[in-house]
Amino acid sequence: MLNLFLRCLILYSFLLIAMRLMGKRQLGELQPFELAITLVASDLVCIPMADASIPIIYGLIPVFTLFLVHILTTKLATKSVRFRKFLNGKPVVLIENGNLLPSVMKELNMTVDDVMEALRGSGYFNPSEVEFAILETNGNLTVLPKSQNRPCSPEDLGIKTEPSTLPVTVIMEGDYIGDNVAKIPYVTKERVMKFLDNRNIAQKDVLLLLVSGEDVFLQPYVGEFLTATLSSDEATEASVSVHVTKKKNPDKQGYDIPNDENVGERKE
């Protein structure tokens, strides 16, 4: 029993490392040769994993061989456009100027339902809204909408906007991620903790905290999310600190700041 457990652990770990080194693509984004390698590698590992009479090396060597084949194939594909087209195919136009292309659909063995499903997945429900729809080599549909149907942008309205900043995860599931904060020169752990203290929220109660420039997105485990800025809290504290204790003078309207003469008169 222990032998089977260790065999499964070793083979699974080896397969996981090999697949990790092959890249980060999701299953739906794999090229045909990558999908074939994935299926074959998983099947080869299952045989020695389930049968203790087969040496474990019989599962490791084939997976390692497939890993080398993947690396070699990928290198060749990056060097040769012709080999890359042979290996992966090429993108195909499915919709042109709002018109479905039946001849192309027949060549790809696609039905109208398939095209409409992919079109809806891109956010469009009517082919007339589409200038071009291209079926990529990984099976995804890329849509270029007609100019009158694309979303309006600030550039269309002549509005100047500030450059976007990448949101950085500072706290996730209660854990402070110091490596991410080190990449932001103007954010420190003290500022983040003070931001949470001002809202009576403990670090362990934070599901997600993102910082983008001075903007903060905070999602606690309990309650609604909130957005604020780090500088707003500091500005509020600064405005409070410059307030001077004021004494009301009954002979005058309003408030006067005490001075040395008033203090001397009170002592007499």
Q: Which has the minimum average pLDDT: 38-47, 140-149, 179-188, 233-242?
A: 233-242
pLDDT of 131 higher than 90: yes
Q: Considering only CA atoms, which of 213, 215, 212, 170 is closest in space to residue 193?
A: 170
pLDDT of amino acid 23: 66
Q: What angle do CA 207, 209, 214 make, to 5 degrees?
A: 165
Q: Which has the minimum average pLDDT: 21-25, 40-44, 56-60, 84-88?
A: 21-25
Residue 126 burial by Cβ neighbours in a 10 Å radius (0-12, 13-18, 19+)? exposed
- Domains 92-145 and 168-240 belong to one CATH topology: yes
| Domain boundaries, given as residue ranges, for the chain | 2-86, 92-145, 168-240
- The span from the CA of 177 to the CA of 170, in Å, is 5
Q: Give the pLDDT band of residue 234 (cuts 50, 70, 90).
A: low
- The span from the CA of 241 to the CA of 245, in Å, is 11
Secondary structure E strands in the chain: 92-96, 99-100, 130-135, 141-145, 168-172, 175-176, 206-212, 215-220, 226-229, 247-248, 255-256
pLDDT of amino acid 166: 85
- For 52-78, the pLDDT digits (tens) are 788 888 888 888 888 888 888 888 888
pLDDT of 249 higher than 60: no
Q: Considering only CA atoms, which of 61, 67, 122, 68 is closest in space to residue 95?
A: 122
CATH topology of domain 168-240: CRO Repressor (3.30.240)
Mean pLDDT, the chain, as a whole number?
80
- The span from the CA of 98 to the CA of 128, in Å, is 4
CATH topology of domain 92-145: CRO Repressor (3.30.240)
Q: pTM of this prediction? A: 0.59
Pinpoint the alpha helices (H) of 51-91: 57-79, 81-88
Number of helices (H), then strands (E), belonging to the chain: the values are 10, 11
- For 109-127, the pLDDT digits (tens) are 999 999 999 999 999 999 9
Number of other CB atoms surrounding residue 47 within 10 Å: 13
Supply the DSSP symbol for 128: G
pLDDT of amino acid 221: 94
pLDDT of amino acid 48: 81
- The span from the CA of 53 to the CA of 221, in Å, is 50
**54 contacts 48 by C-beta, under 8 angstroms:** yes
